[in-house]
Amino acid sequence: MPLKNDRYLRALQCQPVDCTPIWMMRQAGRYLPEYRHLRAQAGDFMTMCKTPELACEATLQPIRRYDLDAAIIFSDILTIPDAMGLGLYFEQGEGPKFKKSINDISDIKQLAIPDPESELGYVMDAIRLTKRELNGKVPLIGFSGSPWTLATYMIEGGSSKTFTKIKKMLYSDPLSLHLLLDKLSDSIALYLNAQIQAGAQSIMIFDSWGGVLSHTSYNEFSLYYMTKIISLLNRGKKQNTFTPDYVPVTLFTKGGGLWFEKIMSSGCDAIGVDWTVDLSSLPKEKVAIQGNLDPTVLYGNRHTIEESANQVLKEYGHYNGHIFNLGHGINQDTPLESVDILINVVHQRSKR
């Protein structure tokens, strides 16, 4: 089915667009009253993720409310560790946790690579259902966490501020950590290929915690494995002109702006950057660039939001290959009208 709005996919391929496309990380989530109502009906977050009809509804909610240029499937980056048997759950105000954590090589050897159409079939069912319900309105993004980011949660047992356990393994037992990262890479590649097969038109890999690594460790323990995943994806062949059936891949390492040139060598089509990066300093039209407004700007008044968005557009300049986004996920107490202001100003002020 031809897309009614393909500017997001065109920008990912560094092709001309009528205006800069925009979507927002965590656009399906707690800042929306309709999402909070749906979550209350579901009872808990994992029920939302594992019920395709609920995941589809959550994905579609921001698309109904706002003039966004892409939808991202409602899910969580920790579905793979959960399918590996670690028992993902969420506690109010504390974020994700696992019933089991990874402590040594014996734990890693026991991990099985999940079959994406059985253990993770609920994600594929949600993608198939959502793609049908979107009916070509906008493209659908599939995603995964990076191997390093998933490993941090698996070893720490949940969220962490210091990453002491995984860094201890990195420096005292790197072979075991490499074994885990390699197993996760194979699992993620299978998972993302299944998402593509189910109908995802773009893939994003969230390396949420890559920025806590040293520059040498980042190459060895994060970027190497994301590069491996990209090499294993069935995304079609990129052409010099816009190719609707090609599935572009975006890598986003939060705090990874200093490694932009290295990330370019991964084979990705686009690189997400946070608000610490000056877009004017980045090479243009070699890969697409996604970003990079500070999400807290949306607490400001109309003038502040419009001028901040305009500054991001000005930094990128009149080049192909820009996808406007926040530098991280939208905050849950963001005013609804601020999102509308942002989307409108991006579309209006970037008209070609």
How sure is the predictor about 158, in pLDDT bands with cuts at 50, 70 and 90?
Answer: confident
- Residue 86 domain-assigned? yes
Residue 115, domain CATH: 3.20.20.210
pTM over 0.95: yes
What average pLDDT does the chain have?
A: 96
pLDDT given at position 91: 76
* The three-state (H, E, C) secondary structure of the chain, written as one string: CCCCCCHHHHHHCCCCCCCCCECCCCCCCCCCHHHHHHHHHHCCHHHHHHCHHHHHHHHHHHHHHCCCCCEECCCCCCHHHHHHHHCEEEECCCEEEECCCCCCHHHHHHCCCCCCCCCCHHHHHHHHHHHHHHCCCCCEEEEEECHHHHHHHHHHCECCCCCHHHHHHHHHCHHHHHHHHHHHHHHHHHHHHHHHHHCCCEEEEEECCHHHCCHHHHHHHHHHHHHHHHHHCCCCCCCCCCCCCCCCEEEEECCCHHHHHHHHCCCCCEEECCCCCCHHHCCCCCCEEECCECHHHHHCCHHHHHHHHHHHHHHHCCCCCEEECECCCCCCCCCHHHHHHHHHHHHHHCCC
Active site residue 82: no
User: What's the whole-number mean pLDDT along residues 68-75?
Assistant: 98
Active site residue 65: no
- Residue 2 domain-assigned? no
pLDDT given at position 235: 96
Binding residues for substrate: 26-30, 76, 153, 208, 328
Catalytic residue selected from 26, 191, 225, 316: 26
pLDDT in tens, 27-46: 999 999 999 999 999 999 99
pLDDT given at position 92: 72
Active site residue 39: yes
Amino acid letter, residue 214: S
Taking 80 as the threshold, does the pLDDT of residue 93 lie above it? no
Catalytic residue selected from 8, 66, 153, 316: 153
Taking 80 as the threshold, does the pLDDT of residue 94 lie above it? no
pLDDT given at position 159: 87
Active site residue 76: yes
Catalytic residue selected from 76, 125, 207, 269: 76
Number of domains in the chain: 1
- Residue 301 domain-assigned? yes
Active site residue 26: yes
Binding residues: 26-30, 76, 153, 208, 328
- Residue 98 domain-assigned? yes
**What's the Cα-to-Cα distance from 184 to each of 5, 235, 305, rounded to whole Å?**
34, 20, 39
pLDDT in tens, 98-152: 999 999 999 999 999 999 999 999 999 999 999 999 999 999 999 999 999 999 9
pLDDT in tens, 281-331: 999 999 999 999 999 999 999 999 999 999 999 999 999 999 999 999 999
- Residue 111 domain-assigned? yes
Catalytic residue selected from 39, 125, 235, 274: 39
- Residue 256 domain-assigned? yes
How sure is the predictor about 70, in pLDDT bands with cuts at 50, 70 and 90?
Answer: very high
Domain that holds residue 223: 7-349
- Residue 316 domain-assigned? yes
- Residue 30 domain-assigned? yes
pLDDT given at position 108: 97
